[in-house]
Amino acid sequence: MSKLEDIVSLCKRRGFVFPGSDIYGGFAGTWDFGPLGVKLKKKMMDAWWNFFVEERDDMYGVDAAILMNPRTWEASGHTATFADPLVECKECKSRFRADKIAEGVSESVTTEEFLATHTKCPVCSKENWGPIRKFNMMFLTHVGAVLPDDDRELADKNIAYLRPETAQGIFTNYKNVVDTFYPDLPFGLAQQGKAFRNEISPRDFILRDRECGQMEIEYFVRPETWEDEFEKVRSLQHEFLEKIVGLPSESIHEYEVPEGDRAHYSKRTIDFMFDYPNGEEELMGLAYRTDFDLSNIARESGKSMDYRDKNTGEVFVPHVIEPSIGVERLFLAILSAAYVEDEVGGGKRVVLKLPENLAPYKFCVSSLLKNKSELVEKARTVYNALKSKYGDVTWDDSGNIGKRYRKQDEIGTPKCVVVDFDTLEDDSVTVRDRDTTEQVRVKISEL
């Protein structure tokens, strides 16, 4: 099993992920994706979108605003309940999320339950805790040209929040889609976008951060069919994780969330857990939200969320199945599964065995020697042809050929194509495989 620090080191060294605002010393809970990270993330997100939206006839996409009317979060329950258990060390004044530093407790942990674990402060190693308090994780801001110090009452009326999830942007567009497209049930609305959570203690690289990407679907179903639809989506999640993005099935585990630990809107939730380098953590969730959201919107807005069946004329509020996955969590799971250390030619090799559909580059093209103009010219011709055909092709002429191979292994390039002197004679090139390191001669026309 790979170590998290090895993956973090590779990500920075090869341009996948950098600490946010690194030039100024960083900013806790934020991360920047570099050139290779952007390519991998885009391919990963495109794979999700193609699988769940483009390849289906019952799915529609939306892209809602990040800033929403604050009544949205009152209706959804976030204003009142979107909180984590915060505990403060009385000795050093450090603050932590209680369920993440104590063993065997959940998000609903009480002060008494926490103190009974005899957890020591991760900073000062003392055991002197204050009471657990609920900390709302929504980022608050003010909209408009009003400063809180100028007019507190007016400022309070202009409060807004950075959205803590993308789901509510889907629910608030449900009626828009029904009125314009009138889809048959069941149907789903999908969205990819940023969400913001003021985590008490962001940690574990990109696994728990304050600004994250989400890919969510709200799948609207008839109330009496929710169990069958839930199982269908559950099966699709496994297919996507295991077949499309190549995660090993033995590293994916389902956890049936007990009632006391489920979100306030859920009547059933399955957390899909993954064996990350730092242990088993949540990768994605699958929740049955009933008609909680649509009914709350109807009450808060005064607008009907009813759906009228085209064939029977029956009128009802649909129920909802929600699969939700974190972009960064999936990104890290893919890197964790792909990261391998082995031995080649008597030396240690680091290789990312990424699925070919996700690898930042399909090919790396280079000339055997960069100071031989005839080789470079021929290699450039091969590079341009492959670039035109496949798009994701890179050029590398740094160092000797062995160092190039090691670099491309680390960034997950499946094939390296090398132009040598024999190429000038027979129009064939050496193609080296990332995973096996085997090399074969292939005609340029057959690449």
- Could you tell me the domains of the chain? 4-74+165-335 (3.30.930.10), 361-446 (3.40.50.800)
CA–CA distances in Å: residue 233 to residues 50, 165, 236: 15, 20, 5
Asked if 163 and 196 touch (Cβ cutoff 8 Å), the reply is yes
Q: What is the pLDDT of residue 153?
A: 64
CB-based contacts of 291, cutoff 8 Å, min separation 6: 223, 317, 318, 319, 320
Beta bridge partners of 355: none
For residues 107 and 14, give the distance between their C-alpha atoms in angstroms, rounded to a whole number: 37
pLDDT at 21: 93
Please report the beta strands in 98-186, taking only residues with DSSP state E, as ranges in sequence order: 133-136, 139-142, 159-162
Residue 173 has pLDDT above 90, yes or no: yes
Instruction: Give the confidence band of 152 by pLDDT, cuts at 50, 70, 90.
Output: low
pLDDT score of 151 more than 70: no
pLDDT at 146: 64
Q: Is the dihedral of CA 64, 68, 72, 73 positive or negative?
A: positive
What does pTM read for this prediction? 0.89
User: Which pLDDT tens digit goes with each residue over 89-124?
Assistant: 999 999 898 988 998 888 888 999 999 999 999 999
